[in-house]
Chain A
Amino acid sequence: MEIPVIVGNGLIVIGAGIGIGRIGGSAMDAIARQPEAAGKIQTAMLIAAALIEGIGFAALFAG
């Protein structure tokens, strides 16, 4: 049976959402632990989130 593309899209979004959510959560923890390093953590967080997002979009558009 062929799985509709939209199901795959949903899975991609769920995966990317979990990934970015985990990054965001970890970044919050890290900032709470070391508020003075907030800037650096934020940058690293954005980069990591952007990478996941990129893969997510690539998968969405490839589908």
Chain B
Amino acid sequence: METLISNFSVGLFFWQAAIFIILIFLLRKFAWGPILTAVNEREESIEEALKSAEEARLKLAELKTDNQALLNETRAERDAMLKEARTMKDGILAEAKANASIEGDKIIASARESIQQEKMAAITDLKNQVAVLSIEIAEKILKDELSSAEKQKALIDNVVKDIVLN
């Protein structure tokens, strides 16, 4: 300890203190200030960049879920529309079928009716023709039968014969 104190150099102490204090102030002005500010600024900008990246990521994720929801909704809507269309189609088809069958039945019925009518008309016509023909035939036969007096007489005789007088 005594040697330490006796060897203590006042000059060295003075110069060291003076130079060191000057150095602190010089470095504060020219080095530490700018360096620390630059480092701080950079760290802040990095932090900000990270934060905004995180925000963007969240937004993107949100957008993605939004998109998904939209997609799902659209898909559901499409499905519903398809379904509706299908039922509508079925309905229309069924209705058309029903309509068609009714119409067909109607047509068939009217056809049948008209056929019946035609048939009746034809039958009536035939009947008339048959009557005319029969009359013609009968006329011819009568003409033939009644061509001579004897035949007329024979007929009269025949008819008279049938007539039974009560």
Contact = CB atoms under 8 A, between A and B. Distances in A.
- Complex A–B touching at CB under 8 A: yes
A61 B7 CA distance: 13
Interface string A26-63: 00000000000000000000000000000000000111
Contacts of B1: 61-63
Interface string B1-23: 10010000000000000000000
Interface residues of A, number: 3
A62 B3 CA distance: 10
A62 B4 CA distance: 10
Nearest to A60: B1
Nearest to B3: A61
A62 B5 CA distance: 11
Contacts of B4: 61
Interface in B1-54: 1, 4
B66 to A, nearest CB: 40
A33 to B, nearest CB: 33
A63 B4 CA distance: 12
Contacts of A62: 1
Contacts of A61: 1, 4
Nearest to A61: B1
Interface string B46-89: 00000000000000000000000000000000000000000000
A63 B1 CA distance: 7
